[in-house]
Every structure is written in structure tokens, then in C-alpha cells.
Structure 1
């Protein structure tokens, strides 16, 4: 089984979170913080910083790890396609908590738990339950 290590960023500005929309008609449509696969010997922090700039044009400096999210899939992942040529980002935007987009949103805690976790400061990364990736 191939493994892919990725890092994403939860970027906040004026109490709004930066999200990018991945859309491919008939395949997937979801919002997520900018992120992607680790390249070479990159750290998770360097990956999140690079991916945020590539996907949104926003320059960031990572402060801490927030969540560890493990996903699995029945389909084979092409770990050599990094960055993926089939990138399907169609927009990026800032969202207040009460204005988050409907539909699929990742990571799952963004709709509720994230905002209280943010108040406590993420003293240590929070491990999320193992989930199956559906697309």
C-alpha cells in the first residue's frame, strides 16, 4: 500500500479562515485549508507554507501543529505526481465561522470543534479518528 504524507494550513485573518475549493464535475467538490504532499525532505511546516502560497498566493509562517488526520482509500494514490498535475482548485476565500461553505469541508472539526480548540491554543496536536477517503 502506498502512503502519502501531506500537510495543510489553517490560516486565520480577522477571525476568518482561508479555504480553497477543489472541484471536478462528477468527481468531487470540497473546501479545505490549503495543503498538499510533502516533497523530498520537507518538514510538515515547510510543506504547509509552500502549499499555502501555491494554492492561494498567501505567505504564512507556521506556528504549531493543530490536528493529525489519517485517511485511507481503496484506490491507489500516485505518490510520484507531486504536485498533482490534475489540481482542481477553482477558488480561494476567507470565511467567518458563521459563513462557512455548505457541502464537504475538511478537516471535519472546522464546523464546530476547531473554534473551541483555537481558544485553548493547541498545546499539542490533536489526533483525529481514522477516516476513509471517499474521493
Structure 2
């Protein structure tokens, strides 16, 4: 079984969360905060900030680990570290992502009541995240092990 280390950012700006839509007709359609794989000897926080900029054009500062997430799919097991992050600057731009195979088609800022219909990953973003973000994530929260929807 292959193992992968991944990171993501939970970037809030004026109580709105940054999400990117991953869409491939007939294969998948979901929204998730920016993130991706850690490269070489890259620090987790650095990888999270890099992935955010690559996928959305937004500069963010990864402050602390908010969630630890585990996912099993046909490729193996992924452990993802979600960072509670601070928006620094930038405008959304999904057209300069070097990983074109990701098929990120759009991104946006969403309040809890404005989250897109359909699958939003991780599921905690629909409810618990908003209470957790108010407390500032004083300690990482372990999310349940899940099987991929793909």
C-alpha cells in the first residue's frame, strides 16, 4: 500500500472560507480548500502555503494544524494535515496551476450558509469547522478515517 503526506489550508477572509472546485466530467465534482502533496524535504507549512498559491493565486500564512485527516483509496493511504491559515493577499486565479491534471475549474470565498451544494471535503466544513475556527484551533483535531468517494 502506498502512503502519501498531503497538506491543505483553511483560509478565512472576513469569515469566508477559500474553496476550489475539482471537476472532471463523469469522474468527480467536489469542492475543497487548496492543498496537495508535500514535495521532497519541504516543511508542511511551506507546502500548504505553496499549494494554496499554485491552486488559487492566494497568499496565505499557515498558522497551526487544525485537522489531521486520513483517507484510503485505490492508490493507498493519505494523511492530510489541514492548517488553520491567515489570508495575506492576492486575487483568485485558478489558471496558473502547474498541476493541470487536478482539473480545478473555479474557486471562491464562502460563508457557512453559502457553501456549494454537493460534496465539500472535508465534511467538517459544513458544520464543526465554524465553531472550531472561532476558538482558533488550540489543538489539532483528528478526523475519522474515510474511504475515498472515487
- TM normalised by structure 2 equals 0.82
1:8-46, CA deviations, whole angstroms, 9 ceiling, x for partnerless residues? 000000110000000000000000000000000112111
Structure 1 CA distance for aligned equivalents of residues 2 and 76 of structure 2? 7
**Residue of structure 1 in register with 2:123 after alignment:** 108
**Residue of structure 2 in register with 1:23 after alignment:** 23
Give the CA deviation at 1:134.
1.9
Structure 2 CA distance for aligned equivalents of residues 75 and 40 of structure 1? 19
Equivalent runs, 1:72-91 vs 2, <5 Å: 72-75=72-75, 84-91=99-106
SS in 1 for 2:23: strand
In structure 2, runs of 5+ residues without a counterpart are 78-97
**Residue of structure 2 in register with 1:64 after alignment:** 64
SS in 1 for 2:59: coil
**Richer in strand (by share):** 2
In structure 1, runs of 5+ residues without a counterpart are 78-82
SS in 1 for 2:132: helix
Provide the aligned length of Structure 1 versus Structure 2.
Answer: 130
Which of 65, 69, 94 pairs up with 2:109?
Answer: 94
**Residue of structure 2 in register with 1:13 after alignment:** 13
Structure 2 CA distance for aligned equivalents of residues 45 and 22 of structure 1? 22
CA separation of 1:86 and 1:34: change in aligned 2, threshold 3 A: same
1:23-77, CA deviations, whole angstroms, 9 ceiling, x for partnerless residues? 0000000000000000001121111100000000001111111000000013468
Structure 1 ranges of 4+ moved more than 6 A:
none
**Residue of structure 2 in register with 1:36 after alignment:** 36
* RMSD of aligned alpha carbons: 1.4
